[in-house]
Structures are given as structure tokens and as C-alpha cells.
């Protein structure tokens, strides 16, 4: 089969790898508009479930990815004016640029034709291909050309964020909340390679405007953020990937859903098909899952139409719940003032329950009360609240079971178990 993939992000590259692994006779070209080695963003997090899928699909690249990932353990929530809390759990971080280099090298070794500086803005340029895979990200040009078939809906989040990095190591996933003169601002920080950590800064638009961050020259804005997050940075600098603009490229996260993911021989995968807010840290993993699922469907069916129908149905179904969780997580951060005055232990419980439909619909205090009641009636301790007791009695670290196994949501894994009360409420 002649296949054209547009976009050498995780989705496009991994689809090419998965297809070549299944059948080396496929002729696959990956078109990437950027030069080799350039990408946006810094490090991304992932969990063992991704490593397991990678290993099952292509053990060679899985091993290299594992070798270049760093492990972070535990989560820290640090609210200004309160003692930080630390919980167990853990995952991996990897440099996005390194991940793409590994996938590119592997695709080339398998015989994929990866063409950089090759922008494809119209499917007409790919008339030779039997299958065209639009893996060109959230702003997909190919999707726009067939918008009437895909029915994309994009919703911009309220909050402003910027994806920065720092040389300060963050061996635990850290949520740091600081109080500024214009409102709360927070970071999501974790190590992704030796001596480098992702440092995403997020805040309400009022805070962003009140601090004048949109108009401030990039260097001045970075220095201002370094002052605000001085405690978390411990003397380390913040760095931005973008050197082109005069101001920092603050964004509002765009949540994308599509009514359909394929139209004739064109199929959407990864961020071109769906996005999930970065506070559940799963976009890369879902992009790779799409790639694996599409390769499996194409190889399972003799008819391309049937394969794309099956891929579309199965993956849209798999994504529905994750996108719903991601939206709730984004909204939780947009409604931070509802939760942050609760004090760290209870606040951490609320943070961990941020995908809960019940929490979204009732006052936080009622949620906390009901959750405690539910857990005590079911004869189970509520780990974050149990940790709150320990914290009040002077023990700052909860040493119980990892939260994922204790039935509580960790930061992120899309497979994570919901908290017990949500499960009771959602049936």
C-alpha cells in the first residue's frame, strides 16, 4: 500500500513504524513541514502502560525510549503559605525532541521515507497515495479541507498557559501554587532528562492581564516568573523554546472533537483528531495508541473503507471518556478559587478528584463530606484525607500504597482508577 503521513509528530512517525513492522512492503512517506530536530514544547510524562504498548508493537524503539526516559516518583502539592504535601506514585518524563529523534531514526531504519521541510497543505498534493494519514496536529490543514465531513469543534480554554523549562530538577511531579498581586498562578513541573525539567505555568486570564504578561518583552516576563516562582526554582532560570517572538507565546488550550475521523482515503489521528488537556498528560500516549490501532485495523481488513470505519468507531468510543475527564480537569483549574481556600490536605484531595462529575456539580465542602462518609461506610480509608491526618500530626509524607493502586486518581494516566465517590456517582 502507498501511504502518505502528514506530520512527523508522535502519531505520524509511530503509525509509519507500526505499519512497516507489520508489512515492510508498504511504501510510506512521512511529510514534516519543519526542519529535522525542531519541535515545540519540552518534556512529556507517560506511564508503564505506554511502555507496554510500545514494547508490544516495536521492542527496539521501546527500549531506546525507556533508556532516554527519566523516572519521577511521587507528587508534591505546594500551596504558598502552607507546608507542602508529598504522595507516592510515579511515572516517566522524556524530552519531546529526543522522543521524535528516536522515532525518526527508527522509521528511517525500517525503510520509511521521512521528508523534512515538506509542508502539505492540500490532499491534492498526495494523489498517488492509497491512504493519507493526517497527523498534522490540532491545527490540521488537511482536516480543514474536509471540514464538512469531519465536523471539527474547537473550544478554547479560559486559562492562559506557557510551556517552559528549567534546569532545576523536579524528581517528583510538582504542582506549585503561588499568590501574586493579581491572583493565583501555578506550575506543573517534572524532570524529563538530566538537568532539565518541564515547567508549565498556568493562570486565570485576569491574573495574566493583571501582571501584564502578554505585553511584557519575553526576557522581562521570564524574569518576572522567576521571581514569582523563586521558591520552586531555587535560583535556576526559566527558558522558553520560542526565540522568534518579542513576547512569550502564551496560549489557551484548544480542546478539539470531530464528528468523524475519516473521509474517503483521508484519516485523522493524534491531535488532528482529538486533544486532551495537558493536565491529564496523555496526548502523546493517545496519539501513539491511535497509530497502533490504525495500523492494526488496516492490516486486519482487506477493504480500506472497513478498516477506517472500524478505526473511527473504536477509537472515538475509547476517547469519549478520556476527553470528558480532560475537560473536567481543565475546568477544575479554571475554577481554582472554588478549591484553593480549603487548605492543603483537603485541597490535594480535590485536586486528585478533579475529573469527578460530582465534584463539578456540588460545593467542594459537600463533596469532601460525602466522600469521607462513603469511604467510611465502605470500611476504607480515604488516602489523601488519611494523609491529612498524618500531616496534621506532623508526618508530612504519606507512605501508603501508590495512589493509583489505592483507587485514587494520580496526576494523569488515562487508565487511572477514578476516586471511589465518583465511581459511585457515575455508575
Ligand X SMILES: Cc1cc2nc3c(=O)[nH]c(=O)nc-3n(C[C@H](O)[C@H](O)[C@H](O)COP(=O)(O)OP(=O)(O)OC[C@H]3O[C@@H](n4cnc5c(N)ncnc54)[C@H](O)[C@@H]3O)c2cc1C
In the complex, least distance from residue 165 CB atom to ligand X, rounded to whole angstroms: 11
In the complex, least distance from residue 46 CB atom to ligand X, rounded to whole angstroms: 6
In the complex, least distance from residue 285 CB atom to ligand X, rounded to whole angstroms: 5
C-alpha cell at 229: 516562582
| Nearer Cβ to ligand X (252/313) | 252
- Cα–Cα distance measured from residue 254 to residue 79, given in angstroms and rounded to the nearest whole number: 27
| Nearer Cβ to ligand X (20/371) | 20
First to last CA, the chain: 44
- DSSP assignments along 281-313, one per residue: --HHHHHHHHHHHHHHHHHH-SSHHHHHHHHHH
In the complex, least distance from residue 251 CB atom to ligand X, rounded to whole angstroms: 7
In the complex, least distance from residue 315 CB atom to ligand X, rounded to whole angstroms: 13
| Nearer Cβ to ligand X (278/348) | 278
The closest of 298, 290, 295 to 314, measured between CA atoms, is 290
DSSP state of 214: T
| Nearer Cβ to ligand X (69/200) | 200
- Cα–Cα distance measured from residue 394 to residue 384, given in angstroms and rounded to the nearest whole number: 15
Cite the DSSP H helix spans in 138-282: 141-145, 147-150, 205-210, 218-228, 230-233
The closest of 17, 214, 207 to 99, measured between CA atoms, is 17
> Mapping DSSP to helix (H, G, I), strand (E, B) and coil, where does residue 84 land?
coil
| Nearer Cβ to ligand X (175/398) | 175
Which H or E run includes 65?
helix 59-68
- Cα–Cα distance measured from residue 135 to residue 281, given in angstroms and rounded to the nearest whole number: 19
Residue 198 β-bridge partners? 165, 190
| Nearer Cβ to ligand X (354/371) | 354
DSSP state of 387: H
| Nearer Cβ to ligand X (152/383) | 152
Beta strands 262-263 and 266-268: pairing type?
antiparallel
In the complex, least distance from residue 185 CB atom to ligand X, rounded to whole angstroms: 15
C-alpha cell at 318: 475509547
Contacts of 209 by beta carbon, 8 Å cutoff, 6+ apart: 182
Angle at 358 between CA 343 and CA 325, to 5 degrees: 95
- Cα–Cα distance measured from residue 95 to residue 85, given in angstroms and rounded to the nearest whole number: 27
In the complex, least distance from residue 279 CB atom to ligand X, rounded to whole angstroms: 9
In the complex, least distance from residue 416 CB atom to ligand X, rounded to whole angstroms: 13
| Nearer Cβ to ligand X (84/281) | 281
Which residues of the shown chain bind ligand X in the complex (CB under 6 A)? 6-12, 31-34, 41, 44-46, 119-121, 135-137, 141, 163, 200, 270-271, 278, 281-285, 287
| Nearer Cβ to ligand X (41/407) | 41
In the complex, least distance from residue 81 CB atom to ligand X, rounded to whole angstroms: 27
Amino acid at each position: 500500500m502507498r501511504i502518505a503521513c502528514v506530520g512527523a509528530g508522535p502519531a505520524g512517525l509511530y503509525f509509519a513504524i507500526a505499519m512497516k513492522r507489520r508489512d515492510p512492503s508498504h511504501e510510506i512517506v512521512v511529510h514534516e513541514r519543519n526542519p529535522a530536530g525542531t519541535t515545540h514544547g519540552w518534556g512529556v510524562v507517560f506511564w508503564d502502560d505506554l511502555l507496554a504498548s510500545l514494547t508490544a508493537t516495536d521492542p527496539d524503539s521501546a527500549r531506546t525510549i525507556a533508556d532516554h526516559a527519566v523516572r519521577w516518583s511521587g507528587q508534591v502539592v505546594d500551596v504558598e503559605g502552607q507546608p507542602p504535601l508529598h504522595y507516592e506514585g510515579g511515572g516517566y518524563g522524556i524530552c519531546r525532541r529526543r522522543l521524535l529523534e528516536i522515532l525518526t531514526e527508527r522509521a528511517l531504519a525500517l525503510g520509511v521515507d521521512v521528508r523534512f521541510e515538506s509542508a502539505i497543505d492540500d490532499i491534492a498534493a498526495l494523489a498517488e497515495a492509497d491512504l493519507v494519514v493526517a497527523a498534522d496536529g490540532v491545527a490540521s490543514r488537511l482536516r480543514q479541507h474536509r471540514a464538512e465531513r469531519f465536523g471539527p469543534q474547537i473550544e478554547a480554554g479560559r486559562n492562559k498557559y506557557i510551556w517552559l523549562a528549567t534546569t532545576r530538577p523536579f524528581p517528583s511531579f510538582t504542582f506549585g501554587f503561588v499568590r501574586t498581586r493579581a491572583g493565583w498562578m501555578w506550575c506543573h513541573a517534572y524532570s524529563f532528562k538530566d538537568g532539565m525539567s518541564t515547567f508549565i505555568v498556568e493562570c486565570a486570564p485576569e491574573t495574566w492581564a493583571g501582571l501584564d504578561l502578554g505585553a511584557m518583552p519575553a526576557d522581562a516576563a521570564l524574569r518576572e516568573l522567576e521571581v514569582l516562582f523563586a521558591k520552586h526554582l531555587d535560583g535556576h532560570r526559566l527558558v522558553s523554546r520560542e526565540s522568534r517572538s518579542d513576547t512569550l507565546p502564551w496560549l489557551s488550550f484548544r480542546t478539539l472533537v470531530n464528528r468523524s475521523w475519516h473521509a474517503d482515503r483521508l484519516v485523522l489521528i493524534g491531535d488532528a483528531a482529538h486533544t486532551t488537556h495537558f493536565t491529564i498528560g496523555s496526548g502523546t500516549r493517545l496519539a501513539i495508541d491511535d497509530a497502533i490501532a490504525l495500523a492494526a485495523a488496516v492490516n486486519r481488513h482487506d477493504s480500506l473503507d472497513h478498516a477506517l470505519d472500524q478505526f473511527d468507531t473504536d477509537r472515538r468510543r475509547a476517547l469519549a471518556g478520556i476527553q470528558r475527564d480532560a475537560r473536567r480537569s481543565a475546568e477544575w483549574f479554571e475554577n481554582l478559587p472554588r478549591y484553593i481556600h480549603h487548605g492543603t490536605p483537603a485541597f490535594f484531595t480535590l485536586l486528585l478528584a478533579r475529573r469527578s462529575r460530582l465534584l463539578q456539580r456540588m460545593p467542594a465542602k459537600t463533596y469532601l463530606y460525602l466522600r469521607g462518609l462513603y469511604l467510611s461506610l465502605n470500611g476504607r480509608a480515604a488516602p489523601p484525607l488519611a494523609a491529612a491526618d498524618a500531616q496534621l500530626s506532623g508526618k508530612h509524607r504519606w507512605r501508603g500504597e501508590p495512589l493509583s493502586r489505592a483507587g485514587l486518581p494520580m496526576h494523569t494516566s488515562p487508565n487511572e482508577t477514578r476516586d471511589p465517590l465518583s465511581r459511585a456517582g457515575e455508575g
